[in-house]
């Protein structure tokens, strides 16, 4: 696994379909790791296609979702026997960020997309922009936004 550009998650792409849809694959999948040491989390970003997150092992993790229209949602993925969700669909256009749930040390998860991930479908989120639409989530936005001066787009050749 390597750190994703912009987003900062430890990640490895495990599948990219040979079939294409426009300029990208029909589908893609990968695995990721959130941990407290060394720190790994997913900074706010949005995608132009739905993304499905899957819990695999470790401690529960928290997704912070900022939906269009000012709505916000927290989703905890983890052991379904402990009352957590095993997977969750994040709709296209919603801002998303993720991290190990409070008190946890690590979370191993997967993500799938169809159409598949391309650098062009990704946009990182800056605090100044997100605070205008979701001011009630200021603490999460401040902590989980792409820092000023850092890029908000993936390198063009990423995941190709």
Q: Which two tokens stand for residue 38?
A: 């060394």
Stretch (H or E) spanning 115: none
Mind listing the pLDDT tens digit for each residue in 60-100? 999 999 999 999 999 999 999 999 999 999 999 999 999 99
- pLDDT tens track for 103-150: 999 999 999 999 999 999 999 999 999 999 999 999 999 999 999 999
Model's pTM, two decimal places?
0.95
56: Cβ–Cβ under 8 A, 6 or more apart, which residues?
Answer: 31, 108, 109, 110
Report the distance separating Cα 57 and Cα 128, nearest Å. 34
**Averaged over 41-61, what is the pLDDT?**
98
Query: What pLDDT is attached to residue 159?
Result: 73
Each residue's pLDDT tens digit, 24-48: 999 999 999 999 999 999 999 999 9
Half-sphere exposure of 56 (CA within 13 A, CB side): 13
Neighbour count for residue 151 (Cβ, 10 Å)? 10
pLDDT of residue 157: 81
What's the average model confidence in pLDDT over 9-38?
Answer: 95
Question: What is the structure's pLDDT at 160?
Answer: 60
Q: Is 129 helix (H, G, I), strand (E, B) or coil?
A: helix
Strand-pair category, 28-36 with 10-16: antiparallel
- Residue 156: the pLDDT is 83
Q: For residue 15, what are the β-bridge partners?
A: 29
Short-list 101, 92, 89, CA closest to 62: 101
What's the CA angle centered on 155, arms 55 and 109, to 5 degrees? 5
Domains of the chain by start residue, with CATH: 2-143 (2.60.120.10)
pLDDT for the residue numbered 130: 98
């Amino acid at each position: 696994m390597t750190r994703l550009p912009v987003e900062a998650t430890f990640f490895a792409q495990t599948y990219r379909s040979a079939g294409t849809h426009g300029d990208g694959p029909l589908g893609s999948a990968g695995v990721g790791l959130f941990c407290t040491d060394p720190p790994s989390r997913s900074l706010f970003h949005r995608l132009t296609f739905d993304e499905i997150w899957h819990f695999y092992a470790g401690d529960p993790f928290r997704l912070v979702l900022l939906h269009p229209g000012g709505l916000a949602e927290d989703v905890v993925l983890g052991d379904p026997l402990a009352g957590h969700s095993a997977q969750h669909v994040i709709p296209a256009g919603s801002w998303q960020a993720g991290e190990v749930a409070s008190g946890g040390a690590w979370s191993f998860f997967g993500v799938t997309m169809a159409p598949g991930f391309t650098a062009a479908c990704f946009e990182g989120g800056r605090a100044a922009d997100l605070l205008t639409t979701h001011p009630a989530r200021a603490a999460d936005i401040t902590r989980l936004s792409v820092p000023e001066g850092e890029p908000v787009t993936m390198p063009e050749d990423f995941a190709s």
